[in-house]
Amino acid sequence: MEFVEAEELWTMEHVNKDAYVCYGCSTQVHPASFDKEKNKRRPYFSMRDKLHQPGCDVDGAEKIVARAKKERVTTSDGFPLPFPSKLILIDERPVVGGGAAGGEGTAGREPSKGGAGGPSKRLHHGHTVKTIRPACRAFVNFPNDRYALPLEIPGLPGKTYAGVFKYVGSKKQEPLPMQRRLFYSAIRWKAKAEKSANFFEITLNAGEWDQASREFKSLCKVRVDWSGWSAARRSSLESEFEVTRDEAIGQAKKDSKVKGWCFFVGTQDAGDPTVFHVDDRRLICCLSAEMVWPD
């Protein structure tokens, strides 16, 4: 079985609506909101009128995630849900087990018709992923477990979620000892992305803050080199950014704690440390969420 993130549906020329099953129990799920021209929200997998099978990890995932925002959920028995523990950049790779917790955001694709099995065994250990997105969701969903959950991304410092992720905030950017990191920052939703044939540039709500004027002196930017990307890959990144930006704008008057976030494995520009460079589609994603920082 191959693990499939809902956002990957954006990049597919043809979506087989009958080819997906829940990663926890193999119950059939159906892709939705994947047409970039018609749908204004990000893709997801729907159960329709079906129920998860008994013992499925996904069935109680939402309750665990809600509790995880308030307290640590790791116990002596392990972690209550499957979680990403290592990134491996291989495009085509069979994956066994789960994905990012959250239920409708992830699914499995059957290797052949009728390939569904019975309920999967409940997992309490990490697994590999092929993009940073599942790890970013876990970082958001389990704030009180960041210092305990292991995470390995080849070439980056850190052995836990807290050690791997690096926040880009409201201070003057200086060259870092380790220029290549997994950075994250809120996007500046008032600023549209700039694009050309060679790059796609996102403005972050981060940079040098002037306390006196209550404004940024400078803003950080993520410059994605997409000169070698296919049209579908470019469209997918643009759609993900626009959907996240729209989600942030929509939430602004309802809940100021929910923001649009950009996560990326990148390097600082040699001449301008406020500019970060990314060149791999698997190493950038955008999500809207409330970010919790435990005391």
104-116 pLDDT per residue, tens: 455 554 333 333 3
For residue 86 the two structure tokens come to 């290592």
* Cα torsion angle, 242, 33, 62, 166, sign: negative
Q: What is the mean pLDDT of residues 201-205?
A: 97
What is the average pLDDT value for the chain, to the nearest integer? 83
What pLDDT was estimated at residue 40? Answer: 64
More confident residue, 158 or 104: 158
What pLDDT was estimated at residue 124? Answer: 53
Would you list the domain boundaries of the chain?
2-144, 168-290
Beta strands in the chain (DSSP E): 2-5, 20-21, 28-32, 44-46, 83-87, 106-109, 126-129, 165-167, 181-186, 194-195, 199-203, 209-210, 215-216, 221-225, 258-268, 275-278, 284-290
For residue 151 the two structure tokens come to 């995470």
Q: What is the mean pLDDT of residues 65-75?
A: 93
pLDDT at position 101 over 70: no
Query: What is the value of pTM for the model shown?
Result: 0.81
159-177 pLDDT per residue, tens: 999 999 999 998 888 888 8
Confidence of residue 184 (pLDDT cuts 50, 70, 90): very high
In this structure, the number of other CB atoms found within 10 A of the CB of residue 151 comes to 24
Cα torsion 134, 290, 156, 273 to 10°: value is: 130
Q: Output the CA–CA distances (angstroms, integers) from residue 264 to 186, 272, 283, in the order listed.
A: 12, 18, 5
CA atoms within 13 A on the CB side of 88: 12
